[in-house]
Chain A
Amino acid sequence: MNDVKRVLFSAVVVLVVSVGLVFGGEVKGGGYDESVVMIRSVKQDYDYVTPWKQTAMSQGVGTGFVIDGKRILTNAHNVSNYRYIELKKVGVAKRYPARVAFVGHDCDLAVISPDDASFFEGTVALEFAGLPEVNTTVSTYGFPLGGTDISVTEGVVSRIQMDSYSHSGADSHLVIQTDAAINPGNSGGPVMQGGKVVGVAFQGLRQADNIGYLIPTTVIEHFLKDVEDGTYDGFGSMGVMLYPGLHSASYKDYLKVPEEEDGVVVIETMMHSSVEELLRPGDVITRIDDYDVDNDGMVEIYGLNLHLSEVVEGKQIGEKVGVTIYREGEKKEVMATVALNRPVLEYSREYDKSPRYVCFAGLVFTPVTRNYLETWGSDWITDIPFSLRYLFTNSMQLNTDRERKEYVVLSEVLADEVNAYSGGFKSGVVESVNGVEIWSLGDLNKAFKERGDEFYVLKFMGDTRALSIDAKKARGRQQVILQNYGVPAGARLEEQL
């Protein structure tokens, strides 16, 4: 039974690591008043069930700090889906409206710029240091709950490891764990050691006391280098599933890897990934660039024992990484290209994009995204209908269609005589329309434009029933339905930023 509990528990933990926090014994002042700024933002999220609508607005307070090039660095979650941002300097009453210059939701970082460049008069840009040593003291600066002045808290670096970033919900990068409790408002604030920034405070662990997390400068530097060309591309990966199975001497022998070599086993490559043609199941990765891979898949890097993906994390999209493998007893060197390599059903939450949809015959269709699934509430992973859960968990294994761009779901039924019997199909993932497979929202839109058949017969995944829509009647009712329900257009096929 233990195994079962652990599986369930781990599912819970992923969801619990959450929003930005920091708190502690407050120390007044601290010497970085010219660099640390308060960020107030007004946000408005999208409604992923009826995607032409937006939800109620909310306001938040976070922290940012001045860096070189007249820029302010903060967390992406402080400014995601923003409608308005204003900055406030310490001890200065004036408010400065600002906008987001670059945002990396996968690494929870953003660069923002005040509209008025005079903001930077009297400010001092902070410099970055490398990774701090474990068991050294760091100070966090910011504007946490409980006051409006800048607050300083001290803590010790407890460990440095790969962990998930809760803003996107699915990305994993290096984090620094500190015992300084982190509270809302601290997010985006600099964490200092020896006068330099060693991290950005960004999240805490809700279940535990005094476990706060910082984004280390390795991640920050990756982000800042990425945006040098004017666009943010994001962190790449190799697009491969690995298994640390070589602790088994038999498995090692079976895969014909010499006894003295350590490494990890390739289980599968992702469809369309940059290594799809280079690696195959059963390959064993023993070395990546200049780092030896051990049987846990770890390498010695920055003086730390970290997962081999940290080597890839240091690279920008399009850069190469050298991979040494054993295949059928033969040692090979391959050069893999770092690419985004995202699954067909994206695990990460999306921000700053108005969701796409098709509305036909009062049936609202939208791509299956994590945002859509999260509309089921905090227990969404167990509460969502089975077909959606199966796809979310296993889309990489279940999708065999190379043409597929996404999964499309019937998110809502705008009641009308033409769809009076469609209610039971809500939340179903569209498989086909009149026998034509649907691999994207665009495919669906095209299918409804076909005028050859008397009916549109929709099939949904994991559902043996069929939904039949009278084509002529549906076309006749289209404008009336859009008007009745205030839907601005029959489709939005492009994301609008």
Chain B
Amino acid sequence: MKTRTLLVIGLCVVGVLSLPARGEESGAADTQEKLKESLVYLEVSSYGYDPRMPWRHTDISQRSCYGCAVGEYEVLTTAWNVRDSGFVKVRKFGQNEFLRGEVKVVDYESNLCLIEIDPNEAQGAMKPVVFAPEYEKGAEVQCYWLSGDGRMESGRGFIDRAEVYKSTASFEKFVNYVVANVSQRTSLGQVYCLGAEAMGIACWTNDNKEAGLIPAETVNRFLEDVEKGGYQGFGAVGFVTTELIDPAMRSYLRMPQSVKNGVYVNEVYSLGTGSDVLKVSDVILSIDGLEIDSHGRFSHVEYKELSLEYLVTSKRAGEQIVFGVWREGERAEIPAKVKGTRAGEMLVPYYEYDRQPEYVVTGGFVFQKLTREYMQQWGEQWAGRVSPHLYHYYRDMAFKPSDERRDIVILSYVLPAEINLGYQDMGQAVVAKFNGVTVRSIADVSAAQKANPDSKYDVVELEMDNPKVVIPREQLAGADAMIARNYGIGKLANVAAED
């Protein structure tokens, strides 16, 4: 009730709001003062790779963002802030010089990153911020950060709700606190406090004056796990559900009238939690004893209605989870192990931050691993523009790699040279076989180049009615050297070692 009253006042009488706010001002000033020893300004030089020319870096760009101390020489920020970082510079309050930051652990799924500073260069220890798992719907919160020009900045807003959101940097969904009516746009690691307690860091913002926070519970679990060493990350959801409100569908699944809850499993991945135990057409009735409703939500003690993804992604990889399901006309309790999903394991990776894309250039034919970042070259509407055959592997198969197929390898395009006359317009085609060997990953291309040693040619077979590509081996060495020189390719292949 208290929450509702506050909201109504907030809408009608803006002037009145300043009264309680003023009352807290001294508290906020104190908090800001204390945080001087904890907040840092970060400048990240981003230096990724060009997905079109994976042998080449993109232009360097600078990113301004924010962090806070979580150890004497350790800084917490979002993973999104440090993606593709070439160099991280850290500046403390009251200092002119930048310190070199070293990314110690980055987890794009939970969107958190821990940066270390060399104690010998740090000119004194920082004061760690302690994150307290506080959630009070409707409460006013303050946010703080150290700006690029060395000032302590602040803003405020109100805790509106807790909701499950897709991580800014990744495919996984985590709980975020949503702060409404924010006075400043915050999404870059600013620290939000409820009174004197830090309660989360900012990770997204939108045009409705809202900001998303990675809450203390996620931050603390991340920090604990990093501390323990051998960081494993959080659980990932290994299945897709769809609401089950249609009585005809419930009746088709032979669910008794008395069972009103449960959500339909319409897809099971080969990665992530539940992928090894759930089946399509299961109905998830509960997770760890918490009842799941027909929209796929459960009731959280503090956050109230929340999407079921939370029950997986708030756990550590390796922990236990129990699915209560309706399967083939009966109830069943199915225990499973919580599993994480790394982007690199996906058939079509969601992202490839911090690493050079895999490729092989031979005879001017550019073979690459298909990734979401690769397809994003087609602009904002890439999903509607990229070749549908390529997109289908991402849309329908991204989380379903198998032993037969770990990556999708494509002939991206052809660098014109005499050796590839007749093929120069080809591209965007999926490689099926190289010298008769089924291609399951880029590494297979490298290996297959050594197959059939007596053959005059390398022969590439492509999916979907494409010609066979025939490359004369005799001319290859000379042509490759010429192509590398002509097109400025330092390294003709980048093949990752087996995971």
Footprint of B on A, CB under 8 Å?
1, 3-4, 7-8, 241, 243-251, 253-254, 265, 267-268, 282, 295, 381-383, 386, 389-390, 393-394, 396-397, 420-421, 454-455, 457, 462, 464-470, 473
Contact = CB atoms under 8 A, between A and B. Distances in A.
Contacts of B246: 420-421, 468
A298 to B, nearest CB: 15
Interface in B372-397: 377-378, 381, 383-385, 387-389, 391-392, 395-396
A470 B427 CA distance: 48
Interface in B396-416: 396, 413
Contacts of B420: 248
A251 B422 contact: yes
A4 B374 CA distance: 12
A250 B465 contact: no
Interface stretch (B107-115, B230-238, B329-337, B468-476): B468-476
B423 A248 contact: yes
A329 to B, nearest CB: 15
Interface of B: 52, 240, 242, 245-246, 248-249, 251-252, 264, 266-267, 280-281, 377-378, 381, 383-385, 387-389, 391-392, 395-396, 413, 420-423, 427-428, 456-457, 459, 464-468, 470-472
Given A8-B385, A254-B459, A390-B392, A468 B377 contact: no
8 contacts: A244-B422, A250-B471, A251-B470, A254-B468, A386-B388, A386-B392, A390-B389, A470-B248
Contact of A468 (B249, B465, B472): B249
Nearest to A422: B246
Contacts of A254: 457, 459, 468, 470
B430 to A, nearest CB: 11
B477 to A, nearest CB: 15
Contacts of B467: 243, 245, 251, 265, 267
B245 A465 contact: no
A468 B252 contact: yes
Given A1-B52, A421-B246, A462-B395, A246 B389 contact: no
Contacts of A473: 248
For B280, B423, B470, the residue with the greatest tally of chain A CB atoms inside 10 Å of its CB is B470
A455 B266 contact: no
A265 B392 CA distance: 28
Given A1-B377, A394-B389, A455 B248 contact: yes
A467 B245 CA distance: 12
Contacts of B392: 386, 390, 462
A470 B422 contact: no
A394 B388 contact: yes
Contact of A464 (B249, B280, B422): B280
A467 B248 CA distance: 9
Contacts of B395: 386, 462
B397 to A, nearest CB: 11
For the complex of A and B, the 9 pairs showing the least CB-CB separation, nearest first, are: A248-B422, A247-B422, A421-B246, A382-B384, A390-B388, A464-B266, A464-B267, A250-B472, A468-B249
A389 B470 CA distance: 31
Contact of A470 (B251, B384, B385): B251
B466 A267 contact: yes
A3 B266 contact: no
A353 to B, nearest CB: 27
A394 B392 CA distance: 12
A251 B456 CA distance: 11
A383 B246 CA distance: 29
Given A268-B465, A470-B251, 12 more contacts: A4-B52, A7-B428, A249-B472, A254-B468, A265-B467, A389-B388, A394-B388, A455-B251, A455-B252, A464-B240, A464-B280, A465-B264
A251 B377 CA distance: 31
